[in-house]
Amino acid sequence: MSGEPRSVVEIVESVHAGRRTALDTVRESLEAIRARDGGEDGIHAFLSVDAEGAEEAARAVDDAVASGRRGALAGVPVAVKDNICTLRLPTTCGSKMLEHFQSPYEATAVARLREAGAVVVGKTNLDEFAMGSSTESSAFGPTRNPHDLTRVAGGSSGGSAAAVAAGMVPAALGSETGGSVRQPAAYCGIVGIKPSYGRVSRYGLVAFASSLDQVGTFGRTVADAAALLEVISGPDPRDSTAANVPAPVLLPELENGIEGLVVGVPKEYFPPELDERIARLCRDAIERLREAGAVIRDVSLPHTRYAIPTYYVIAPAEASSNLARFDGVRYGMRAEGVDSTEAVYEATRSLGFGDEVKRRIMLGTYALSAGFHDQYYVRAQRVRALIARDFRRVFDDGVDVIFTPTTPSVAFGLGEKVDDPYQMYLADIFTVTANLAAIPALSLPIGTVDGLPAGGQLLADRWDEATMVRAAAALERALKE
């Protein structure tokens, strides 16, 4: 591919204007995947690529545009995290359990992308069942960070983030339960959005922790990630948790600037463990926001320090229940050579799941078990309510958006944390709160530390994605100046 990879916004404009075809655009993307993704030194962002299907779909988009149907994402090649169901490629969840699983239906988010003229080129790597922060728990090998192939891309949506960062696709879908879009976006130097809980249908997103899971979007700019979010948002009769609120109008917000908005800066997100160089980049970003006309206010979210323990009770508890369905009977693999039903369950789950998934199932089953349920699960739910109330108070007090670092450090080395789950969980310290509080959050690049990208996070009140992307676009412009 020559020059800078094209943005979603540019592609749509030029396809609408007839200056380029969807087919050429998709071919360019497939070519970039061939050049950078495979082999020993490849990034390994993709688990499967559908060249034939993508070209066919692109031709259909070109025909539609020629006959006057100009979809909001006409001709945009997209990658889809492999825990989101598609009709044409397998949906493996990065697990041996579902290695050959072919979904009989398509996720609502994917269907909406296709209806808008986007073309799915492939499915991306992830931590097994989205459990992880580095994409190293994938049963099919890790994804590498395009900025430094010896480092992780983050996770669990590491494949989608790396594919976008490497210019293989302009945008992608990921999923979030506790930071899995924002954390890899920060590590890979791109924009990632986790919408409000209930903003995007979960139909066809393989369940991890149902009270936290949301589909999110990646792009190299705020506009690109927002363009996808606009299309996939809104109620869905197939998912009762997709709230009955209209899809937000985001793109016109991007030019509105930040003048007069109140930006809260919570002291709990600048702890001593935060890499001093990331702290400095955050202070610079806050200064830029002030220069652009924002009112900066110190705020406090006092229950932040309970977020990791709360999340790591609730998410595994829900996961232990959701993953009970993978037992060799209905979905995916079935262990051979065992005779009783019990033995099929046991052997299939022993062989099919990797260590991290087993760890979560055991933790979650324990937290839900008779005698411990009150001490762990119920108590975690109460603390979750306190964390949500912290945000409620700040927003009720007139704060429009909150600014924090996305992660406490930049991308770590491959293999560095695999044997220390607790250290791995700490990579989520600034991101799990938004999932617990059901509010929208976004990560955008704010600079580099030794050549590795660092992310800044913006959070807004529930359903206020519009103000969040408006502030993010203003910061993105201010950082470019």
Tell me whether residue 419 or residue 450 sits nearer to ligand GLN (CB atom): 419
Residue 142 engages ligand GLN in binding (rule: CB under 6 A): no
Task: State how far the Cα of 125 lies from the Cα of 46, in Å rounded to an integer.
Answer: 5
> Looking at 29, 133, 157, 180, which residue is catalytic?
180
Binding residue (CB under 6 A) for ligand GLN from 80, 139, 215, 315: 315
Identify whether 180 is a catalytic site residue: yes
CB of 419 to ligand GLN, least distance (A): 15
Residue 233 engages ligand GLN in binding (rule: CB under 6 A): no
> Looking at 81, 123, 194, 417, which residue is catalytic?
81
Tell me whether residue 84 or residue 294 sits nearer to ligand GLN (CB atom): 84
Q: Exposure string (b/e) for 330-347, b if CB count within 10 Å is 16 or more?
A: eebbbbeeeeeeeebbeb
CB of 172 to ligand GLN, least distance (A): 15
Query: 10 Å Cβ neighbour count for 1?
Result: 13
Beta strands in 25-134 (DSSP E): 46-49, 77-81, 119-124
Query: 10 Å Cβ neighbour count for 244?
Result: 9
Residue 136 engages ligand GLN in binding (rule: CB under 6 A): no
Residue 318 engages ligand GLN in binding (rule: CB under 6 A): no
Task: State how far the Cα of 414 lies from the Cα of 404, in Å rounded to an integer.
Answer: 26
Beta-bridge partner residues of 260: none
Binding residue (CB under 6 A) for ligand GLN from 90, 94, 117, 132: 132
Residue 53, both tokens: 């299907």
Helix (H) or strand (E) holding 24: helix 22-36
∠ CA 117-121-124, nearest 5°, is 125
Cβ neighbourhood burial of 252 (10 Å; 0-12, 13-18, 19+): exposed
Picking from 75, 26, 70, the residue whose alpha carbon sits closest to that of residue 52 is: 26
Question: Which stretch in 90-98, 108-116, 130-138, 161-169 sits in contact with ligand GLN by CB under 6 A?
Answer: 130-138
Q: Quick check: 356 and 421 in contact, CB under 8 A? A: yes
Residue 215 engages ligand GLN in binding (rule: CB under 6 A): no
CB of 294 to ligand GLN, least distance (A): 29
> Looking at 156, 160, 175, 443, which residue is catalytic?
156
Residue 131 engages ligand GLN in binding (rule: CB under 6 A): yes
Residue 133 engages ligand GLN in binding (rule: CB under 6 A): yes
Site size toward ligand GLN (CB under 6 A) is 14
Residue 428 engages ligand GLN in binding (rule: CB under 6 A): yes
Q: Exposure string (b/e) for 33-51, b if CB count within 10 Å is 16 or more?
A: beebbeeeebbbbbbbbbb
Q: What is the contact mask toward ligand GLN in residues 90 to 129, using x (rule: CB under 6 A)?
A: ----------------------------------------
Amino acid at 217: T
Q: Quick check: 33 and 122 in contact, CB under 8 A? A: yes
CB of 315 to ligand GLN, least distance (A): 5
Question: Which stretch in 4-12, 101-109, 176-184, 470-478 sits in contact with ligand GLN by CB under 6 A?
Answer: 176-184
Helix (H) or strand (E) holding 290: helix 276-291
Residue 180 engages ligand GLN in binding (rule: CB under 6 A): yes
| Bond prior to 156 in cis (omega within 30° of 0) | yes
Lay out the sheet containing 452-460: strands in order across: 46-49, 119-124, 77-81, 171-176, 214-219, 191-194, 441-449, 452-460, 401-405, 262-266, 295-299
Tell me whether residue 89 or residue 357 sits nearer to ligand GLN (CB atom): 357
CB of 1 to ligand GLN, least distance (A): 30
Look-up of token digits 């591919």: 1
Residue 178 engages ligand GLN in binding (rule: CB under 6 A): yes
Helix (H) or strand (E) holding 391: helix 379-396
Residue 156 engages ligand GLN in binding (rule: CB under 6 A): yes
Look-up of token digits 């360019």: 28
Residue 304 engages ligand GLN in binding (rule: CB under 6 A): no
Tell me whether residue 249 or residue 362 sits nearer to ligand GLN (CB atom): 362
CA 314, distance to chain mean position in Å, is 19
Binding residue (CB under 6 A) for ligand GLN from 71, 75, 122, 179: 179
Residue 111, both tokens: 């269907």
CB of 243 to ligand GLN, least distance (A): 20
CB of 432 to ligand GLN, least distance (A): 7
Binding residue (CB under 6 A) for ligand GLN from 62, 176, 327, 461: 176
Residue nearest ligand GLN, Cβ-based? 180
Residue 160 engages ligand GLN in binding (rule: CB under 6 A): no
Residue 159 engages ligand GLN in binding (rule: CB under 6 A): no
Tell me whether residue 74 or residue 313 sits nearer to ligand GLN (CB atom): 313
CB of 139 to ligand GLN, least distance (A): 15
CB of 130 to ligand GLN, least distance (A): 4
Identify whether 156 is a catalytic site residue: yes
CB of 416 to ligand GLN, least distance (A): 15
Beta-bridge partner residues of 265: 298
Task: Indicate which residues carry an active-site annotation.
Answer: 81, 156, 180
What residues make contact with ligand GLN under the rule CB under 6 A?
130-133, 156, 175-180, 208, 315, 428
